[in-house]
Chains A and B, each alone.
Chain A
Amino acid sequence: MATETLTAVATAGGAGPRRSRGGIRSNENLAGWLFVAPVIVILGLFLLLPILMALWVSLTDWNGQGSPFTGNVPFVGAHNYTQLFTEDGLARRDFMTSIRNNIYYVAIVVPAQTVLALGLALVVNNRMLKGKSFFRSAFYFPSVTSSVAISVVFLFLFANSGAVNALLGFVGIDGPEWFADSRGVLHLLFGAVGVDSPPAALTDGGPFGLTWWDWLAGPSVAMISIITLVVWTTSGTFMLMFLAGLQNVPVTLDEASNLDGASRWQRFRYVTLPMIRPTMFLVLTLGMIGSWQVFDQVYVMSQGDPAKTTLTPAYLSYRTAFADFDYGSGAAISFVLFLIIIVLTLIQRRALAERDTDRPRRGWWRRRVPERS
């Protein structure tokens, strides 16, 4: 980073005399642009231009016939957006259902994968255990395989006569028909304590066209199998990040607190956890950003079924455009999703900036600890 600022200053300062020196510098200017040109063209053409084009389409009623940029395409202004938020109808109900599903999905996936990843990292980081590199690879392997191929395997695992139900059968539980069961797990819990039919207050109304009872359904049984799959595939990646973070915790610090009589839990809570806080923040925000984009698994495993309980905004936007040929609404949904993810990314950026200001303090610890022990 330091060299970058230095050269930046040098470039800025050399702006005047550059021409008079001629030769090499102007050469570099041309070469520089030539070198980056392919990347600029590809990223510009397939990343930036698409966003602008989609912004336009989200303001129209384009049905996929011909070009969306001719005068024949009906311009509807913000209608595609108001349809999602304010107008009572199927579009809003589906969109809000997908938002509800994704909120529950995020609420389970993010904590579960974070706890699992941290737990695995702590075990793999244990100095007393041998053969750790094998297990580290084993935990990480699912993360590098194809999401489609893995979804196929999990379809089999969660099939009615699949491995998961066979396992449940060993402990005497009659497993559900995972991908046909649209019951929300919170509804099932309510049912277990005798609340089978919702009180009128919950069915009468609720925000955005869904009743309170619908909002409170929880993830469906079918969604649980997708959640299991995702937690299983992503924990390995986050485990590696935690491992990198744990390696920054000086061993002497842990030993010093051990000598001071701190228990294992105390050392974790008051020494390790504060030291890996930046990694924790990174994992949490990356997890949230990723969780709002769940698509492949939904496409392969459930296509939004049963009863729309695995519908997510990403899949809904795809389906609205490419199955219902309502490209305007589809694009509008993806822009709302874009907004959600950008907000999360900004939070992440702030967390990272915070992490950089953490560095001096880490150095301070390092210098302090040997003195004490």
Chain B
Amino acid sequence: MAVLTDRPAAAPARRNERAARTLATRFLGYATLVFFGLVFLYPFVIQIGNALKTEPDAAANPLSPFPDPLTLAGFERIFAGTNFPLWLGNSLLVTVLVTIGRVFFDSLAGYALARLRFRGRSGLFAAVIAVMAVPGVVLLIPKFLVLNQLGLYNSYAGLVVPLLADAAGVFIMKQFFESIPVSVEEAARIDGASIFRTFWSVVLPMAKPALITLTILSFQSSWNEFPHSLVSVQDPDLFTLPRGLADLVSGSLGKGTQYPLKLGAALLATIPVAIIFVVFQRYFVRDANDGSDKG
């Protein structure tokens, strides 16, 4: 910046021209930002507005963010007429268990792969990387087969256990543990701490930023998880929020009607992730950039 402005311009005329061009560029830049800002956020505004409308109002003025009249009828029907509370409870349970499991198991494995010298380590790491490339969608039928064979189909265990570890999380933790100086552990070892003790009380507390990242990512992905619940349970009592929502939209209530209700339910499913996103934005951004750097 400084270099640009300090540079002496050849002639005042050219300076004026450049200033005008800069102004035009800036205006164009803001115009683009605002336009796309609307494109990316207005659907959510519409969602909130229409969730609070009456059915005919939503059909007549879909673009307007202002309900006229404002009504909570949609939300009342969500709680009284659907299994929403049940889905919410299931989602919370699954998300909490999956997140705890992932943070613990991925850290353990990440630490071992980063620090412990054991036979087969590099082979294992290569396997973890390879597993990251397996496309989730082609595993739908296979996962159902295994859950069925293990007797986990249609159970909370079937919803939770397969998600308890993920290769990407192991990768994130391994990268982080490698950045911690070895000398820290050596001191603990010399004091006679066991390997697990060193990991648990010395290294893990230092890995807070990575743990937060992993917690947030696990929360976000297990809260939003849909295909897995599709093939691991069939019993409506075990539906999670996305599953219940999908059932609500494509199932019994049919298409084209009840929009305030459906938008409201979708809104409630979005709120927890939205809050986490607003509060912990930089951790999301960090992950996306890490992703572009992984090899």
Interface residues of A (CB under 8 A from B): 3-4, 7-8, 10-11, 14, 24-25, 27-33, 35-36, 38-40, 42-43, 45-51, 53-54, 57, 67-69, 119-120, 123-124, 126-129, 131-132, 134-142, 144-157, 159-163, 166-167, 179, 232, 236-237, 240-241, 243-245, 255, 279, 282, 289, 292-293, 295-296, 299-300, 303, 314, 317-318, 321-322, 327, 330-331, 334-335, 337-338, 341-342, 345, 352, 356
Contact = CB atoms under 8 A, between A and B. Distances in A.
Interface string B242-276: 10011001100001100100110111011001100
Interface of B: 1, 3-4, 22, 25-26, 29-30, 32-33, 36-37, 39-41, 43-44, 46-47, 50, 58-60, 62-63, 105-106, 108-109, 111-113, 116-122, 124, 128, 131, 133-146, 149-150, 161-162, 164-165, 167, 170, 178, 189, 195-196, 199, 220, 223-224, 226-227, 230-231, 241-242, 245-246, 249-250, 255-256, 259, 262-263, 265-267, 269-270, 273-274, 277-278, 281, 284-285, 288-289, 291-293, 295
Contacts of A160: 256
Nearest to B119: A29
A32 B273 CA distance: 35
A163 B270 CA distance: 20
Contacts of B281: 137
B138 A35 contact: no
A67 B151 CA distance: 11
A121 B3 CA distance: 23
5 contacts: A32-B116, A38-B109, A53-B145, A232-B39, A337-B138
Contact of B162 (A46, A127, A138, A153): A46
B142 A51 contact: yes
A283 B62 CA distance: 34
A139 B117 contact: no
A283 B65 CA distance: 35
- Classify the interface of chain A: helix, strand, loop or mixed: helix
A138 B133 contact: no
B142 A155 contact: no
Nearest to B162: A46
B259 to A, nearest CB: 5
B141 A237 contact: no
A54 B285 contact: no
Nearest to A345: B133
A295 B25 contact: no
B57 to A, nearest CB: 11
Contact of B249 (A29, A36, A152, A338): A152
A183 to B, nearest CB: 19
B246 A352 contact: no
Contacts of A236: 40
Contact of A45 (B4, B146, B277): B146
Contacts of A43: 128, 131, 165, 167
Contacts of B189: 24
B259 A159 contact: yes
Contacts of B278: 137
Contacts of B108: 35-36, 38-39
A293 B62 contact: no
B37 A337 contact: no
B116 A327 contact: no
Contact of B146 (A53, A124, A147): A53
Contact of A327 (B117, B141, B223, B269): B141
B246 A300 contact: yes
B166 to A, nearest CB: 8
Contact of B62 (A7, A161, A255): A161
A293 B135 contact: yes
A139 B40 contact: yes
> Which A-B residue pairs are the 9 nearest by beta carbons?
A32-B118, A50-B142, A35-B112, A54-B142, A32-B116, A46-B162, A241-B292, A240-B288, A149-B266
B54 to A, nearest CB: 14
Given A53-B145, A148-B266, 10 more contacts: A4-B122, A28-B117, A31-B118, A53-B142, A129-B33, A141-B41, A149-B266, A232-B40, A318-B140, A341-B138
A105 B131 CA distance: 26
Given A128-B25, A141-B41, A163-B46, A28 B269 contact: no
A60 B178 CA distance: 47
Nearest to A229: B43
Given A47-B131, A295-B137, A330-B141, A156 B41 contact: no
Contact of A356 (B4, B32, B149, B295): B295
A334 B138 CA distance: 5
Contacts of A36: 108-109, 112-113, 124
A120 B37 CA distance: 10
A48 B134 CA distance: 10
A312 B170 CA distance: 32
B62 A33 contact: no
Contact of A334 (B116, B141, B270): B141
Nearest to B196: A31
B67 to A, nearest CB: 14
B4 A255 contact: yes
Nearest to A128: B26
Nearest to B269: A149
A289 B274 CA distance: 27
B235 to A, nearest CB: 15
